[in-house]
Amino acid sequence: MIERMRRAGAAAAEVLAIGAAVIAPGVTTDEIDAVVHQAYIDRGGYPSTLNYRGYPKSLCTSVNEVICHGIPDDRQLQDGDIVNLDVTIWLDGVHGDTNATYCVGNVDDASKRLIDVTRQCLDRGIAAVAPGRPFSDIGRAIETHAVANGYEVVRAFVGHGIGEQFHTDLQIPHYYEPRMTTIMEPGMVFTIEPMISMGTGQHKIWDDDWTAVTADGSRTAQFEHTIVVTDTAMEILTTAN
């Protein structure tokens, strides 16, 4: 199972890099969706999101104030936008889930700082993974860093157990939740995927029933990896190798 998760994770990382290489002013998110769709197929995989609970596309493209689950469409990316690509591949019967936020052309310094701090939040969450520790340590590490930098954590969307199922019952908040007393054990596989807002962490959902945006229109960023707990610490599965 872990060997299959490693392969799916590495493939997801490759597909994310292929999608990211297409990002430029004037490119539509539908065009990125088409490139990413073909990249899953080329690796013998299938897009986990396509028709997942009715979701219509092969990846999520979340621009500026979109927190997550943005649906690719015919809007062209504009100079100064920030865009998150969230790819999930189903390969050999398991899912690999990873995302990252990118700059389109020249982006203002405040947005660049948001992206940097959000990546650091993911790194700090990952550093809190070790057998014997409670899951609440992950969210505590993330929230502490976000708040210290003047940002808010989006609370409505959480990391999740993953494997033969895209989303299992295991939920990993990205804020400090003292009731999250479950202990991490070797072999557990889950995502950490903090969404960090420059303004409020409160959200609204568009009429398409998917697109989540910040309630005040602030920009948000997100980074995600799929992780396995090892005997001593953890291994990141969604890296190319």
Q: Catalog residues that contact ligand MF3 under the rule CB under 6 A.
A: 49, 52-53, 55, 60, 69, 86, 88, 97, 160, 191, 193, 210, 224
Q: How many CA atoms lie within 13 A of 223 on its CB side?
A: 18
Q: Does 192 bind Co ion (CB under 5 A)?
A: no
Residue 235's Cβ-count burial label (10 Å; 0-12, 13-18, 19+) is: middle
Distance CA 130, CA 148 (A): 24
Distance CA 142, CA 224 (A): 13
Of 86, 143, 152, 177, the one binding Co ion (CB under 5 A) is 86
Distance CA 186, CA 102 (A): 32
Entry field: residues in the chain? 241
Closest distance of CB 198 from ligand MF3, Å:
21
Distance CA 28, CA 7 (A): 29
Q: Does 97 bind Co ion (CB under 5 A)?
A: yes
Q: Tokens at residue 139, please?
A: 């969210």
Nearer to Co ion, 80 or 236 (CB): 236
218 binds, among Co ion, ligand MF3, none (CB under 5 to 8 A by kind): none
End-to-end CA distance of the chain: 17
55 binds, among ligand MF3, Co ion, none (CB under 5 to 8 A by kind): ligand MF3
Closest distance of CB 87 from Co ion, Å:
7
Q: How many CB atoms lie within 10 A of CB 178?
A: 9
Closest distance of CB 66 from ligand MF3, Å:
12
Nearer to ligand MF3, 69 or 219 (CB): 69
69 binds, among Co ion, ligand MF3, none (CB under 5 to 8 A by kind): ligand MF3
176 binds, among Co ion, ligand MF3, none (CB under 5 to 8 A by kind): none
Closest distance of CB 122 from Co ion, Å:
12
Closest distance of CB 88 from ligand MF3, Å:
5
Q: Where does this chain touch Co ion (CB under 5 A) — which range of 27-35, 85-93, 174-182, 212-220? A: 85-93
DSSP state of 207: T
Q: Hunting for tokens 């520790």 — which residue is that?
A: 133
Q: How many CB atoms lie within 10 A of CB 93?
A: 10
Residues 202-231 that bind Co ion (CB under 5 A): 224
52 binds, among Co ion, ligand MF3, none (CB under 5 to 8 A by kind): ligand MF3
Q: Does 191 bind Co ion (CB under 5 A)?
A: yes
Q: What are phi and psi of 98, to 5 degrees?
A: -150, 150
Q: Which residues bind Co ion (CB under 5 A)?
A: 86, 97, 99, 191, 224
